[in-house]
């Protein structure tokens, strides 16, 4: 099991819970969509999984380890097994596409000789093999998102979390990005994608859960529609 929540609650301030009694499991190789209105807690839910937040109550396990009250020094090895793709890209403007993708490996102390080819291969895979030396300000929104995706994948994560990954790109680029997530899932990574784009959800026909009022609900499996990402 990759992730398990048991009666998890999360309160930011004044004791008001943004997540309430959340029960959730994610198995190896699963693909899940996370939907819900703005402010429903989707980003908070993902932050709990990638250990940026701790639950206020309940129990949370990650890769079989109880992380509910885990010591800070025990978290980095778990975080390295997770790739996170943010809506706002979070690229460093003074670094090239290659350097942005390589950053997690550099921070982890890996020798450049060991990751150089992996970074090149990833940028080729997302269609940016000719933009290795490009700075973020010269890239389109779709190109920036693909650089961010490659950066999330460079450490070969077991779990990929994406928070509105198509929110800042056009529909055609959104489809391409979603197809990349599907391919990564086929290669063995578990994937959770938080999105408002219900058309993409319907097009892919994957398991879907919905957050509303701080509570998580499983949605019926959507019927796949033609004409969008498949």
Number of separate domains in the chain: 2
In this structure, are 56 and 170 located in the same domain?
Answer: yes
In a domain, 74, yes or no: yes
- 36 forms beta bridges with none
DSSP secondary structure string for all residues of 27-94: -TT-EEEEE--TTSSHHHHHHHHTTSS--SEEEEEETTEE-TT--GGGSHHHHTTEEEE-TT----TT
In a domain, 125, yes or no: yes
Does pLDDT of 183 surpass 50? yes
Give CA separation, 76 vs 32, 65, 111, 112, 228, in Å: 24, 13, 18, 20, 37
pLDDT band at 230 (very low <50, low <70, confident <90, very high): very low
Which tokens belong to 139?
A: 């890239």
Percentage of the chain surpassing pLDDT 90?
A: 68
In this structure, are 190 and 95 located in the same domain?
Answer: no
In this structure, are 15 and 125 located in the same domain?
Answer: no
Sign of CA dihedral 104, 105, 108, 109: negative
CB-CB neighbours of 56 under 10 Å: 14
In this structure, are 2 and 51 located in the same domain?
Answer: yes
Give the domain range for residue 77. Answer: 1-81+157-230
Does pLDDT of 20 surpass 80? yes
- 65 forms beta bridges with 62
Does pLDDT of 45 surpass 90? yes
Cα radius of gyration (the chain): 18
Alpha-carbon distance of 47 to 149, in angstroms, equals 17
Taking only the tens place, the pLDDT of each residue in 189-200 is: 999 999 988 888
In a domain, 86, yes or no: no
In a domain, 187, yes or no: yes
Given a contact cutoff of 8 angstroms between Cβ atoms, the answer to whether 147 and 97 are in contact is yes
In this structure, are 74 and 170 located in the same domain?
Answer: yes
In this structure, are 130 and 217 located in the same domain?
Answer: no
pLDDT band at 222 (very low <50, low <70, confident <90, very high): low
Taking only the tens place, the pLDDT of each residue in 106-164 is: 988 999 999 999 999 999 988 899 999 999 999 998 899 899 999 999 988 999 999 99
CATH number of the domain that residue 28 is part of: 3.40.50.300
Given a contact cutoff of 8 angstroms between Cβ atoms, the answer to whether 1 and 158 are in contact is no
Does pLDDT of 170 surpass 70? yes
Q: Is 4 exposed, middle or buried (0-12, 13-18, 19+ CB in 10 A)?
A: middle
In this structure, are 142 and 169 located in the same domain?
Answer: no
pLDDT band at 81 (very low <50, low <70, confident <90, very high): very high
Which tokens belong to 83?
A: 């790739």
Given a contact cutoff of 8 angstroms between Cβ atoms, the answer to whether 136 and 92 are in contact is yes
In a domain, 172, yes or no: yes
pLDDT band at 13 (very low <50, low <70, confident <90, very high): confident
Looking at 155, 172, 194, which one is the last position of a domain? 155
């Amino acid at each position: 099991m990759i992730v398990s929540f048991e009666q998890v609650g999360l309160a930011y301030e004044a004791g008001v819970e943004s997540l309430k009694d959340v029960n959730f499991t994610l198995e190896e190789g699963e693909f899940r969509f996370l939907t819900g209105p703005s402010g429903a807690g989707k980003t908070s839910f993902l932050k709990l999984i990638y250990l940026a937040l701790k639950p206020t109550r309940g129990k949370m396990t990650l890769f079989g380890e109880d992380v509910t009250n885990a010591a800070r020094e025990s978290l980095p090895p778990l975080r390295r097994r997770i790739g996170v793709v943010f809506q706002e890209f979070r690229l460093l403007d003074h670094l090239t596409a290659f350097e942005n993708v390589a950053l997690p490996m550099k921070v982890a102390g890996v020798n450049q000789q060991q990751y150089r080819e992996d970074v090149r291969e990833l940028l080729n895979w997302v269609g940016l093999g000719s933009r290795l030396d490009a700075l973020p300000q010269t890239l389109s929104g779709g190109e920036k998102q693909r650089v961010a995706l490659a950066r999330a994948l460079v450490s070969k994560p077991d779990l990929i979390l994406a928070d509105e990954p198509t929110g800042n790109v056009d529909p055609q680029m959104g489809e391409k990005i979603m197809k990349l997530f599907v391919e990564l899932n086929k290669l063995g990574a578990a994937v959770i994608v938080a999105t408002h784009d219900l058309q993409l959800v319907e097009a892919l026909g994957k398991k879907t859960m919905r957050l509303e009022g701080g509570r998580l609900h499983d949605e019926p499996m959507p019927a796949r529609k033609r004409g969008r990402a498949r």
